[in-house]
Amino acid sequence: MPSLEYTSAAEITAQLEDRLVEAVGEKPDVSRRSVLGGLGVAGSAAVGIGSTRAGADSGHDEDEHGTFGAVGEYRDSNFDPHEFLTTFNTGESGQDAVPQRIYEENGRTVREFEFTAVDTTITIAPGIEFEAWAFNGQVPGPTIRAVEGDLIRVTFENFGRHAHTIHPHLKNLDPEMDGIPQNGPGVLETGESYTYEWIAQPAGMHFYHCHSLPLKEHIHRGLYGAMIVDPDPERVRENPADYVTDHPSQITDAMVDDLVDEAKTRNHEYAENDAVNELVIVMNSFDTNFDGGNEVYAANTRAFAYGVGETDGNGNWTAGETKRPIRIDKNERQRVYLVNATEFDLVNSFHTHSQFFDYYDHGTTLLPTRQTVDTVMQTQAQRGIIELDYSDHEPGLYMFHAHQSEFAELGWMSFFEVV
């Protein structure tokens, strides 16, 4: 039998989820304030409604963007936010929906990927669908992972109705590869393709997105994803000052050894990386009525996906395919690659209950930029790495969420299940 802790958490998750679905689903043009008002007065009984295309009748003018054409056939029916957490596309392993390969060229490792942009419909809450523009038919887009110094080669084809690009938040030395309307091929119209090439640098947690105008529309609709560049331990040994905030004169031989060891835990090609449980969390949001304000917030797209559903208390969840906490082994080191893709709000945040963590802003250093904190804020496109240790905690549920309270009530509330 599930414990009272699990039963209570499941009831709260269901109550918040039902109220959100009721408010947004029955009235696609409802505002965020109306949803929050409904949270205060709605009953806690479950609400059953059919599929609703949120914002479909909002009056949004598709003609503002021009460029009409074929609509992609991809749907997100197979998108699982739990699977997304730990799926890294490296060129030799990853998603079936991402054609990829890895090979050597001119003495450099090349990780090649095929991306498309499509118009599709994604599920953001039970019965609530959102008309999205998506890389490879999913939001967030596929997570790319490379090693520092590799060449990332992305062949991009636009199947959407609007013109799109891919802009990388990397140190890119070639302006033609910047993925903006003014440089290189500019925007890609329907049916056009282009091959982007970027050197994977610097090591860290990075971001990619469409840079077509209006920018807020193309990002908000779902054209974004995470890009991880693992540090090269040999380069760390040769250039340790590049990975710390300390003055180079303070770097000792012992510190260099520690930095190299840490780099190996962040590099997916080293066995030391196997001792760390790594998760990707993209904080995002959805303006369901296209009024410039969000009605739904989430970690990895689906509201309350990492909440608590019905369970037998033995790890068997019966509340649907995705509504369950993130199960972690207390004896494993936990690493969260965190990025904020939220549009229309100045900041988003990540807060852990009953736990403090070290934070590496942008992930570009091997020593934490903030230590022993339980909340970090990120502006849009800001990202970082969070390191967690639950080894001294009792097994059970530990909440984490945005510490803008309304974001949590509107979908961005989650749990770790420590076992």
| 126 part of a folded domain | yes
Band the pLDDT of 263: cuts 50, 70, 90. Answer: very high
| 128 part of a folded domain | yes
Q: How far apart are CA 300 and CA 352, in angstroms?
A: 17
Q: Is 198 found in the same domain as 244?
A: no
Mean pLDDT confidence for 289-305 = 94
Mean pLDDT confidence for 39-62 = 40
Q: Is 216 found in the same domain as 87?
A: yes
Q: Is 127 found in the same domain as 239?
A: no
Helix/strand number for the chain, H first, E second:
7, 21
Per-residue pLDDT of 70-102, as tens digits, reads 333 334 457 899 999 999 999 999 999 999 999
| 246 part of a folded domain | yes
Q: How far apart are CA 23 and CA 180, in angstroms?
A: 38
| Beta strand segments in 308-391, E | 326-328, 333-340, 347-352, 357-361, 370-373, 375-379, 383-388
Mean pLDDT confidence for 286-304 = 94
What does the pLDDT read at residue 77? 55
Q: Is 256 found in the same domain as 165?
A: no
What does the pLDDT read at residue 38? 59
Q: Is 249 found in the same domain as 210?
A: no
Mean pLDDT confidence for 43-53 = 33
Per-residue pLDDT of 130-188, as tens digits, reads 999 999 999 999 999 999 999 999 999 999 999 999 999 999 999 999 999 999 999 99
Q: Is 257 found in the same domain as 194?
A: no
Contact 133, 117 (CB under 8 A): yes
Last residue of a domain, one of 233, 251, 283: 233
DSSP letter for 243, please: G
Mean pLDDT confidence for 371-389 = 98
Number of folded domains in the chain?
Answer: 2
Q: How far apart are CA 201 and CA 228, in angstroms?
A: 10
Q: How far apart are CA 83 and CA 233, in angstroms?
A: 28
60 pLDDT higher than 50: no
The domain in which residue 99 lies consists of 81-233
| 389 part of a folded domain | no
Band the pLDDT of 313: cuts 50, 70, 90. Answer: low
64 pLDDT higher than 70: no
pTM of the model: 0.90
Q: Which residue has the higher pLDDT, 268 or 245?
A: 268
Q: Is 243 found in the same domain as 127?
A: no
When mean pLDDT is compared across 58-67, 100-109, 226-235, 319-328, the lowest value belongs to 58-67
Q: Is 259 found in the same domain as 172?
A: no
Q: Is 246 found in the same domain as 206?
A: no
Write down the mean pLDDT value for the chain: 88
